[in-house]
Structure 1
Amino acid sequence: MSRPNTPIVLDPTGADRHAEHRRLRAHGAAALVDVLGVQAWSISDPVLLRKLLTGPDVSKDGRRHWPAYDEAVRDWPLALWVAVTNMFTAYGADHARLRRLVAPAFSARRVAALRPVVEALVTELLDELAAEPHGDVVDLRERLAYPLPIALIGHMMGVPEARRAGFRALVDGVFDTTLTAEEATANAVRLYGLLDDLIAAKRAEPGDDMTSLLIATHDEEGSTLAEAELRDTLLLVISAGYETTVNVIDQAVTSLLTHPDQLAHVRAGRSGWHDVVEETLRLEPAVKHLPLRYAVTDIPLPDGRTIAQGDAILASYAAANRHPDWHGPTADTFDVTRPTKDHLTFGHGIHFCLGAPLARLEVATALEHLFTRFPHLTLAVEPADLRPLPSLISNGHQSLPVRLHPK
């Protein structure tokens, strides 16, 4: 079956993401797309996407495997996504080395030790919400979804509390795909300035935090993180651990408030908070499209087309997670009792997100405490009035207005 060669221009504002994802799937396992002026293959078929996420014929190293790299990093608004030097853009042995160096910071022991920290942070935030007058509207994204992950990341990384708001604003800019190339570059410069200050402070006075650990860590071969790798690894940890978790909390609360029958399943014990987290991750992943990967060799597609060596590849997680071939005719339905809630939100294979257990802990804890503390929680606007973030990457709302108590 032939497919059109004219790329689908992805909407940088993400205004109607679900329609866009259906359009991508209608073009087969892969669709040519335009990502802010860069052409790539969007992969929305989960079987093909899993294969490409794990096979050696796909790389994340644009310097080595993307002929358009030099041009893209000069004037592409998403240049930071492909130009960083950390395990996000590493390939082969380089990726294995970097992952080995970073993994101890996300060990099961360290994540388990963070549980009481997460619970204390959630309790503090809910105490502040409980002090609001009954019937008042509060923005739950601003008052819970945002401050919880940034406080936890700040705690883990040793970021002084006074500096956390600065990191938040600049990380938001990394995910904002409506910025011009000049605005994105300026945002990156300011963000790196904050990272350099953090590294200098921890070198001068190390603490019991992840930044100090990454500065000091080494693997059995004695290698350490180079300076650029250190900066970009901190950028990866802060960005991935903050923005994505904000969106999952946001989407999980929204889904439960717009599907009271599903919340009833949880309250009756027919499903657990873990089920809510996984179904949210499947239905509304924090990241819709993740740029970029590159074909190391020609990759034949099931319909006879070919992803040519050097072509860019876009992992379209949101479209893949809702694929009807994977989850059947109810793939677009929020169902916490769904027997199989498999998804690709955290990636797959060697690039599976190291922070996944921590993100799951944060979201489940926030949801359980929130709905226990405020059993009559309701949306303060119609669901259709919730405005999406202006991004083709980040999947959340600009605000989440709720009433904690009945009027």
Structure 2
Amino acid sequence: MGNPTPIVIDATGRDIHGEAARIRARGPVTLVELPGGVPAWAVSDADLLKRLLTDPRVSKDPRQHWTTWIDGKVSPEWPLYTWVAVQNMFTAYGGDHKRLRGLVSRAFTPRRIAALQPRIEEITAQLLDRVGQAGRTGEPVDLREEFCYPLPIQVISELFGLPEEKGAELRSLVDSIFHTSASPEEVTDTYGRLYATLGELVASKRESPGDDLTSGLIAARDEEGDTRLTEQELLDTLVLLISAGHETTVNLLDNAVHALLTHPEQLAHVRTGRASWDDVIEETLRVDSPVASLPLRYAVEDLAMSEFGGPEEVSIRKGEAILAAYAAAGRAPERYGPDADRFDVTRADKEHLAFGYGVHFCLGAPLGRLEARIALPTLFERFPDLRLAVSEEELEPVDSFISNGHRALPVRLA
């Protein structure tokens, strides 16, 4: 059944696309080994992934459906512990998922997202003023640090009413959650500090509610009782929305800027009207998914992959884990042709799974797209001669096999 020797996932994420190619070469579904020797099935075929992601026999609840968790083999020191231990819509199944998503989706209505546009434009302009000042000396500016990161984190902080003085701490905590080669000490320290910080936030908002999403979630918890939202679900929903609410957009902006600066002919397509900024955004999401691989899902019962259009010889057994290999799926030559790994804004087929699929499709996708649709054209209009300050080979990836971006993006403005 399948390949006897699993591909060992590099926890540092040093070569995400090379690893994705090796996973694809082993077939549309293959055994991998996650940090800590934890086995999982990596699914890298987009159509197969879609079928699995919409099948009720595939769960995200480890407490019900992951044998490794049920048998007590997952330690709080495991680098991915927070990803599977949280109790929110990210790890919910069936009725619980519907309940939790329904509650949160009220905060992400199209009208509410559209209403954010003027504020996002204002934040963008302010940040680019700072970038311009920092680059006035001719010295390189780290665009990830000065623009790609602060824009989405300021938007999400204002949405949730997060106190400004907690911004740096929350950022370091979220970075640590995505740090998939973290030491056991870092993992346990992050977990403790995360809940202490969010507990303080909830206590503060209970005492002085505001017109923000945190206060709204607390009201749903307190007014509607435990049938709606438990205290743990409240905290874990904040973990999900604050972390996923900015990390993916940081990488989207980072990867889009990087792609345009390393493919000037593609930027020319946009500037001459042969392609749109939406084309840039969607092609970036396809070729450089902000989340390279997403843990985890679990087989509720034995699943023959042939039933899903997969290989005849492979079955995922009840209780086994599944890793959604989005970066691998986005560059599959079988789907996108021999140039699948090339950034091409004029490509006809830019469909991707960067925001997931099915009932777990990312609620924040419209917000991420809106931020990019404002930030990217404004950046390139403000600094038309923007260029990388180092060779592409000098750029280093973030230390994660989940998060796909650069540690820094040094640029010169002119």
Q: TM-score, normalised by structure 1?
A: 0.97
Following superposition of structure 1 onto structure 2, how do residues 206-225 of structure 1 map, counting pairs within 5 Å?
A: 206-217=209-220, 223-225=227-229
By how many angstroms is 1:3 displaced? 4.4
- Partners of 1:196 and 1:113 lie apart in 2 by 29
Which segment drifts farther, 113-122 or 70-79?
70-79
Following superposition of structure 1 onto structure 2, how do residues 186-225 of structure 1 map, counting pairs within 5 Å?
A: 186-217=189-220, 223-225=227-229
- Partners of 2:148 and 2:77 lie apart in 1 by 33
- Partners of 2:258 and 2:286 lie apart in 1 by 14
Q: Are 2:314 and 1:305 equivalent residues in the alignment?
A: yes
Alignment partner, residue 366 of structure 1: 375
Which segment drifts farther, 43-52 or 321-330?
321-330
Structure 2 residue identity aligned to 1:271: A
Alignment partner, residue 254 of structure 2: 250
Q: Relative to 1, partners in 2 of residues 1:334 and 1:114: Cα closer, same or farther, differing over 3 Å? A: same
The 3-state SS of whatever aligns with 1:330 is: coil
- Partners of 2:295 and 2:262 lie apart in 1 by 31
By how many angstroms is 1:162 displaced? 1.1
**Matched residue count:** 404
By how many angstroms is 1:24 displaced? 0.3
CA-to-aligned-CA distance 1:233-279 (integer Å, 9 cap, x gap)? 00000010111111111000000000000000110111111111111
Alignment partner, residue 389 of structure 1: 398
Alignment partner, residue 111 of structure 1: 113
Following superposition of structure 1 onto structure 2, how do residues 88-237 of structure 1 map, counting pairs within 5 Å?
A: 88-132=90-134, 133-217=136-220, 223-237=227-241
Alignment partner, residue 57 of structure 1: 57
The 3-state SS of whatever aligns with 1:68 is: helix
CA-to-aligned-CA distance 1:58-116 (integer Å, 9 cap, x gap)? 00000000111121144422111101000000001110010001001111111011111
Would you say the 8 A contact 2:61–2:91 is kept in 1?
yes
- Partners of 2:232 and 2:325 lie apart in 1 by 28
CA-to-aligned-CA distance 1:191-247 (integer Å, 9 cap, x gap)? 1111111111111111110101111137x9984211000000000000101111111
Would you say the 8 A contact 1:287–1:393 is kept in 2?
yes
By how many angstroms is 1:134 displaced? 4.5
Which segment drifts farther, 46-55 or 131-140?
131-140
By how many angstroms is 1:330 displaced? 1.8
- Partners of 1:5 and 1:156 lie apart in 2 by 48
The 3-state SS of whatever aligns with 2:73 is: helix
- Partners of 1:77 and 1:260 lie apart in 2 by 38
Alignment partner, residue 308 of structure 2: none
- Partners of 1:353 and 1:305 lie apart in 2 by 29
- Partners of 1:253 and 1:243 lie apart in 2 by 16
Would you say the 8 A contact 1:281–1:343 is kept in 2?
yes
Alignment partner, residue 24 of structure 1: 23
Structure 2 residue identity aligned to 1:207: G
- Partners of 2:101 and 2:2 lie apart in 1 by 38
The 3-state SS of whatever aligns with 2:92 is: coil
Alignment partner, residue 34 of structure 2: 35
Q: Are 2:70 and 1:66 equivalent residues in the alignment?
A: no
Structure 2 residue identity aligned to 1:287: V
- Partners of 2:410 and 2:380 lie apart in 1 by 15
Structure 1 residue identity aligned to 2:141: V
The 3-state SS of whatever aligns with 1:329 is: coil
Unaligned runs of 5+ in 1: none
- Partners of 1:365 and 1:303 lie apart in 2 by 46
- Aligned identity (percent) is 56
By how many angstroms is 1:46 displaced? 0.8
- Partners of 1:380 and 1:74 lie apart in 2 by 41
Structure 2 residue identity aligned to 1:43: V
Alignment partner, residue 282 of structure 2: 278
Alignment partner, residue 294 of structure 2: 290
By how many angstroms is 1:4 displaced? 2.6
Q: Are 2:22 and 1:13 equivalent residues in the alignment?
A: no
Q: Are 2:339 and 1:330 equivalent residues in the alignment?
A: yes
CA-to-aligned-CA distance 1:291-310 (integer Å, 9 cap, x gap)? 11000111112231211111
Match of 2:84 among 82, 85, 89: 82
Would you say the 8 A contact 1:82–1:292 is kept in 2?
yes
Question: After TM superposition, which residue ranges in structure 1, 4 or more long, deviate above 6 angstroms?
Answer: none
- Partners of 1:50 and 1:72 lie apart in 2 by 28
Structure 2 residue identity aligned to 1:99: R
CA-to-aligned-CA distance 1:292-351 (integer Å, 9 cap, x gap)? 100011111223121111111000100011111221122111011111210001000111
- Partners of 2:341 and 2:24 lie apart in 1 by 13
- Partners of 1:214 and 1:221 lie apart in 2 by 10
